[in-house]
Amino acid sequence: MSGHIFKVRLQIVRQGGTQKRAKKAKGPGILSLLPFLPFLCSTLPYYLKPNFENVSRHQGEIMDLNLTPDEQQFRDELRAWLQANVPQPYVGSRNEEEKGAYFDYLRNWQGKVYEAGWASISWPIEYGGRGAALIEQAIFQEEWMRAEAPPLINVLGLSLIGPTIIAVGTEEQKRRFLPKILSAEEIWCQGFSEPNAGSDVASLSTKATLDGDHFVVNGQKIWTSIAHYADWSLLLVRTDPTVPKHKGITALLVDMHSPGVTVRPLKQLTGEASFNEVFFDDVRVPVINVLGEINKGWSTAIATLMNERAHLGTGVYIQFKRNLDRLISRSHEIKRNGKPASQDTLIRQKLAQAYLELEVFRLTVMRALSRMQDQIIPGPEGSILKLQWSELNQRMQQTAMEALGPHAQLHSFDEGQWVFNYLRSRANTIEAGTSEIQRNIVAERVLGLPKSY
């Protein structure tokens, strides 16, 4: 997008009631590549990797793919700031079980990003964002990847909870919470899943009983990301057990430092502990911390889940692209049968397939963003993104294992990133809604198919 520029203009020409496409292109436009996909599957890693500079912008019957002067200025401003401010890569332990040096490194970085006004460009200006248009958000993601900037530590607050507060929160809640989400002064987690309510979140049993101007919360959550160093949680609780399960739920903003909150990290296959069990024993939460309406928390939950599935798509592309670039680079160095792995026909095909799938994913993200431009809350297209990136990453990590061979299994090789990524990817098709759940959502809400039960 921000690298090599390919200018493609597509115009629909009406002739005798039919439509034909006339194309003028400088460089290999995406449509001109289609006849050569079989060839590209075995050769693409050795050729130029095109990035398309922009999202399509319709002008009557013409689709113009060029950045406007304002968009170019936005890109140049962001690129210059990143070049001047991206810190040196962190060196040392990245233990996620406690607030250590790496936590401070990431929090300080987000604070710097916030002070410069780049923390969440998609948020409205009045809430600390830039009110960025979709094309600017796409440019931002590409430039962030290009600069290899560190991640923002408060990712759940920025991409899930913050947008939900903006959509359904009170003005007091917006004033109280949004600035500290942006600055990473307060880190957020999301308390939805329970031992008996994972994919079927509405079956949750954590209860909240009204006691004066407070709710008293009792119950357990599980698989709660970063709860071990979170300051606040968006918590779903049952406030009316007498009505159907979707109707008796309330969303609460809960201080994780409240008496009665206990967090227990869960060791994963990778050896890290980014997920947690969280126990609530007579935890008092002010009624003013209800997000949305009492007993109507399911709509709040849906807003958060749709943000989760849509915004994870825009973020993971950066990580996946970096990983694939490193894998291709390593495949030129690792030997298989006395020759670089990149010269193995099967490995070349799989690397090319990973590249093509990643580009399809990037374009699908942009299509989803364009559908979201007139919506405050994303729709079910987020499920398509989540399904796509989770399964794409598992295939790509399998390819890495095959391409790099025994080296990829060593923690001493590339700091163990390949074995970590492979093991971690197994959770992708479970977290944020299983692939089975996503396919049901796509079938029912996108394709309009009848329920399967």
Indicate which residues carry an active-site annotation.
308
How far is Cα 43 from Cα 9, in angstroms, rounded to an integer? Answer: 27
Q: What are the tokens at 147?
A: 């600069």
262 and 314 in contact (C-beta within 8 Å)?
no
Question: At 221, phi and psi to the nearest 5?
Answer: -120, 160
Find the distance separating the first CA and the last CA of the chain, reported in whole Å: 43
DSSP 228-268: GG-SEEEEEEES-TTS-TTTSEEEEEEETTSTTEEEEEE--
Eight-state DSSP code of residue 129: S
Question: At 95, phi and psi to the nearest 5?
Answer: -60, 120
Q: What are the tokens at 258?
A: 């409240």
Q: What are the tokens at 194?
A: 């329970």
| 21 half-sphere exposure, CB direction, 13 A CA radius | 9
**Hey, how many other C-beta atoms are within 10 angstroms of the C-beta on 25?**
14
DSSP 69-117: HHHHHHHHHHHHHHHHHPPPPP-S---TTS--HHHHHHHHHHHHHHHTT
64 and 129 in contact (C-beta within 8 Å)?
no
